[in-house]
Structures are given as structure tokens and as C-alpha cells.
A and B are shown apart, each in its own frame.
Chain A
Amino acid sequence: MSSLSYAAGDSLTMLRRNLKHALRYPSMTVTVVAMPLVMLLLFNYVFGGALGSGISGAPTGGGSYIDYVAPGIILMAATSGALSTAISVCSDMTEGIVNRFRTMSISRASFLTGHVVGSVIQTLISIALVLGVALLMGFRPTATPVEWLATIGVLTLLILALTWLAAAMGLIAKNVETAGNLPMPLTFLPFLGSAIVPPESMPAGLRWFAEYQPFTPVIETLRGLLMGTEIGNNWLIALAWCLGLTLTGYLWARTAFTRNTKC
């Protein structure tokens, strides 16, 4: 076998290990899914009435607030997945088994790849659940099959970016508590974008931030694909952010893992 297929095989072994963990100890997965679900219920049923009438002039596509907020909540499910990645990478690093992996003749990246791919799969599943609940609550996307595929693609790219960043955070965190806190800004960022309300309703400074932060073009792209609102060049900006962040996260994580090895 070539070294590349060894690397793929090792990553697959690591992925199996992580999925087994997730299936056997689902509490983390449940938390990850529960958070965006609670947000969805909260924003639609509790704040929805007031927010919905407040932004009625904004391009929501359909008429109801759920059509505006659902894509934003879907994005939150992605950030919530990142949180669990950081925690699981960090707690895994405190286990002696990682040192065993390091003394074995296995592909260096496989440990991280296994974690990241496992997290992407888990997060996609949790997004599917959130989407399902949103549909039950009256979310009516107008997307064509091609647009649905594009939605899945954009989401996967975003999750990949967030997960690599979170993996790096999990590696540099000294303990599991810190690992749980480091990605917090990521989970908070969608609020300061167009996830819940349009940036036009925000004060000037915040509005500027909301318009230029990475999540807004992603949300706008999702909203456009699902609800048929105007996308413009948002898809291009979203793509650039996702690829840039993935690369940053990957390089950061790889360096952090190697540095840990040499400690």
C-alpha cells in the first residue's frame, strides 16, 4: 500500500473511533443538537412575534419570521458543532492514548482528520434535525433540488472551516474547560450578523461589523438558496471566507499538534 492509502486508512480508523465515542456517549451530541433547537423555538415562538413585525420590510422571501430566522439557526447548529469538536479534541489529548499513537508508525494527520470528519458528519446530522423541526414549525423553503445541493455544499464548507478552527482551539487549550470556552465567540458571532435580524436595523458601528463579518455572507447565501432572496456576490465572499478559514484552521491545528509532540 502507498503511504497515501495508509494515511486514508488511518484516518478512517480514527473516524470509526470517534463515531463510536459519539454513539456510545451521546450526551455531547445531544447538547449540540439541543442548543440550536432551543434557539429555534425561542426565537420563533417567544421573540418571533415582535421581531417578525419589526423586520417586516426586510427581504424575508416568504412572509413569516420563521422563514427569515431558520437559515440563521441552521448556521448556529454549525457553530454549536464546533464547540463539541474543541471539547472532544482537548479531552482526547489529555488521554494517554494520544501518546501511544505518536509512538506508532501511523500517519500524523490521521488523528486530527478523524476528529474533523467525525465532527462534520455529526454536525450535518444535527443540522438535518434542526431543519426537520423548522419545517414542522412552518418553515417553507422554496429551493429547487440544485439549490438544496448547493445549500448542503455551502454548509459542509462552513462546518469544515469551523471544525478545523475548533480542533486547533482544542489543541492549544490547557484543559477541557478552556476548550469549551475558546470557540464561544464563534457561537456568538451569528447574533452580530444577519442571523436573527437584518443588519440594517443595527446602530452604525455594529452594522458595519455585521455586514463584514464572515457569517453574514454565508447566512445571506443560505437564505438566498433556500428562500430565493437576493444573493448577489455574497456566495463568492462566503466561499472565500470558508476556504480561507479552513486553511487557517488546518495549518493552525497541524502546527499545534506537532508542537505538542515536541514538548
Chain B
Amino acid sequence: MPMAIPMPATPTAPTRSPLPPAITASGLSKSYGDKVVLDGIDLHVPEGTVFALLGPNGAGKTTTVQILSTLISANAGQVRIAGHDLTHEVDAVRAVIGVTGQFAALDNLLTAHENLMLMADLLHLRRHEGRRRAAELLHRFELSEAAKKPVSTFSGGMRRKLDLAMTLVGKPRIIFLDEPTTGLDPRSRRTMWEIIRGLVTDDGVTIFLTTQYLEEADQLADRIAVLDQGRLVAEGTADELKRLVPGGHIRLRFGDPRAFDAAAALFASATRDSEDLALRIPADGSIGTLRAVLDSLDGAQLRAEALTVHTPDLDDVFLTLTARTRPGAGANSRKESVR
């Protein structure tokens, strides 16, 4: 698999002493004319963690990345990247960050190797050091065979890998990934996820990623912020966010109506689904609750045919949180997801 070769450079000691923040932002705002794109957002990303900015299309995710990566300037707000002020120490910020945008930032007319060497030259690496780095990254991302081919012949997955490899030539401490897997097939997406995880665990890099895929945020991120119409509507770990919405329950299905009725009498809070002979018992998904349910069943000597535990997933969270501002379509999708 892709991440067999560990990166040699791991400058941060593994000691988990109080980590300095990699990114802090307060009151970040941006508008184009009358259109407010970012309406005062605050961010705090500790070093060595993965932070996911989740939001629908047009929420302001890309704008946020563009501001944090020095591409555009904000109208208001304070930002510090690795301790450097974004407005006054742009070069210091640029020296520690790497950006892989939504659209592959490659030179299509050059080969993969030449693209990496271009980065090495612009980073003022020595010739042999540049070559070594390029070979190492090509190997790491399984692109060695395609190294001498022009990038224009690459598949979407290969382009995205090379894009990230180019970002890594400079060994950035903080990497911005703007929708890193949008448009990739499931296999390439998983490969990207492996690579991103490897960057954090092997190299101690801080990752700031945007995505519209809830699964991606759930898979990768230590903390997730939900951005909607330029505002952060929620922030926390995936579990914390899931707890924000109700809907967790244990579903018990029975083989015969007698057992179904007896069990229904046992759990007062349950809702009955007589057609399927199933009960839905509100539950937080913890093992204690599950055990209590099973114990009650055992006590009454009732046998359930099937038991499933339903925890609200990020889809529920996402749709609930982003529905408030859009009553029409949002409310409908919310119902869909609960069903």
C-alpha cells in the first residue's frame, strides 16, 4: 500500500506537551461588494491535528483556504499561522505552508519529475537534494513509473497525488487541502485518505482540509467545523457533533406478535412499528444502555430476532445544522434523513 516508506524528517518530538496552535483566526471576514462570503469566523487548530471545514457548495470554504494560504486578503480579522501574522509576515507564513487546491496546481506540459524539480528549484534546494526529494516523493506516491510522462496524460487520482507531492517538496508544517478528494473514484479517495493520515502520524504535519463529504471529515478529522453561509454553525469532534442531534435509538425486531406486545409493554418510551414487529427505543448508543435493554429482555425471557443500534451520523448533523437558514429544502431533507 502507498505509505510503506516513512518520511525521514520528523522534526517534532513525539512528546504531547501543550501544543502551540498551528492556525488561529478571529473575526475573519470577507465580502465582495454587497455579498458577504465570510461573516466573522474564529478558528483554532492545534499543531499536528487534522481540522475539517465542512460545508455545502458556496458556504465559503474555498475563500477561507484562499485567505489562510495568502492568496487573497481578508477584509477584517486576525490570523496567525505557525505564530506568524498573516498580513505582516506573509513570507514567513508562505515558508511553512503548503497548499493543494481544488484544481490541480500542476504544470501540464512538464513531466511529473520536472514538476517536482520545478518546486525544488523554486524552494532553492541544492540540485542533488532536489533530485533526491523528487525521487523519494515519486516512490512514496507510487508515481515512479510515470515519472517521465507528461502530466497531461495522468488520471485524476494520479494528478491529485502529484499535486500533493509537489506541496510536500518544501516539507511544509501546515498543509491546506481544498476538497482533496472531490471528483475521485472510491479507491483513489481511500488512497488519498491513507496519505493524509500518514502525513499526520509520520510527519506530524497539521492539516486544514475542506470537504463537502461528511464521511471524509468523520474519517480524517480530529475536529470539524460546519460552515454555512459564511458562518460557523457548529464545531467539535465528530462525536460531539453527532450528539447535537437527536435520533439515536436501538431497534428490536421480533418474530411473533406476542413477544412484540410483551416487549412493547416492557419499554414504555419505545415507539411501535406493528407492521414490522419492531420497536424503536431511544438510546444514546452507549454500551450501558444497550446492556440494560438486553437485561430487560432476558428478565422477561423474550427473544428478539434482530437488534440494530442507530447513531445519528454526520449527515443528520449537517442537514440539521444547515437547514435552519434555509427552511424550504433543508427541512425536507432533514425528514428524509431521519426516516
Contact = CB atoms under 8 A, between A and B. Distances in A.
B109 A25 contact: yes
Given A96-B106, A103-B94, A1 B72 contact: no
12 contacts: A9-B124, A13-B118, A13-B121, A17-B110, A20-B110, A21-B110, A24-B150, A97-B106, A100-B105, A103-B99, A104-B94, A262-B72
A144 interface: no
Given A13-B122, A17-B118, A103-B99, A262 B110 contact: no
Contacts of A41: none
Interface of B: 69-73, 91, 94-95, 97-99, 101, 103-110, 114, 118, 121-124, 150, 166-167, 170
B105 to A, nearest CB: 4
Interface residues of A, number: 25
Given A10-B122, A13-B122, A103-B94, A97 B71 contact: no
A105 B105 CA distance: 16
Contacts of B101: 96, 99-100
Q: 10 nearest interchain CB pairs?
A: A96-B105, A100-B105, A105-B94, A96-B103, A13-B121, A103-B99, A105-B95, A103-B69, A97-B105, A21-B109
A6 interface: yes
Instruction: Determine which residue in A9, A99, A104 has the highest number of CB atoms from chain B within 10 A of its CB, and name it.
Output: A104
Contacts of A13: 118, 121-122
User: For chain A, what secondary structure do more than half of its interface residues adopt (helix, strand, loop), or is it mixed?
Assistant: helix
A119 to B, nearest CB: 16
Contacts of A16: 121
Contact of B72 (A24, A106, A263): A263
A104 B122 contact: yes
A6 B123 CA distance: 10
Contacts of B73: 262
Interface in A204-263: 261-263
Contacts of A1: 124
Nearest to B73: A262
Nearest to B92: A105
A249 to B, nearest CB: 25
A97 B104 CA distance: 7
A102 B170 contact: no
Given A99-B71, A102-B71, 9 more contacts: A6-B124, A9-B121, A16-B121, A17-B107, A20-B114, A24-B109, A103-B97, A103-B99, A262-B72
A6 B122 CA distance: 9
B108 A95 contact: yes
B37 to A, nearest CB: 12
